[in-house]
Amino acid sequence: MLNAKVGIAKVGTTTLEASLLNMNTIVAYQTSFTHYLIGKHLVNLKYVALPNILANKEIIPEYIQHKAKPSILADKVLDFLSNEEECQKQKEEFQSIRKMLSNEKKCDIAAEILKELKR
């Protein structure tokens, strides 16, 4: 991750790790339609990537289910590789995540949010 220009990550702690390591990232996730419907009804979240959940906005582009197609993912990776401004914008947003987690009180808040997600 330290040497990568951009990465495609799965849903989970990988996205938080990527943001803390300042790696430009996109998220891809695809499961069976049945599992997707069950998950959609059990978990009420606007975002699936941890940095997005913590920031309550999309920092890392999310490609879920039918949007997680190789051609769509490749186009977004190429966008990052060819657009330094877009790369820098995402990295600036990553700084806000690092700052949030470096504040002891906010770190506790983030931990509580993550605990709630597990329930």
Over 80: is that where the pLDDT of 19 sits?
A: yes
Tokens coding 10? 């799965």
* E strands present in the chain: 6-9, 24-29, 62-64
Q: How far apart are the C-alpha atoms of 109 and 107, rounded to whole Å?
A: 5
| pLDDT band for position 42 (cuts 50, 70, 90) | confident
Residues 6+ away with beta carbon under 8 Å from 17: 1
Residues 6+ away with beta carbon under 8 Å from 9: 15, 18, 25, 26, 27, 28, 49, 60
Q: Is the pTM of this model over 0.85?
A: no
Tokens coding 107? 């770190």
Per-domain boundaries in the chain: 6-118
Q: How far apart are the C-alpha atoms of 24 and 40, rounded to whole Å?
A: 27
- Could you report the per-residue pLDDT of 75-102, keeping only the tens digit for each? 999 999 999 999 999 999 999 998 888 8
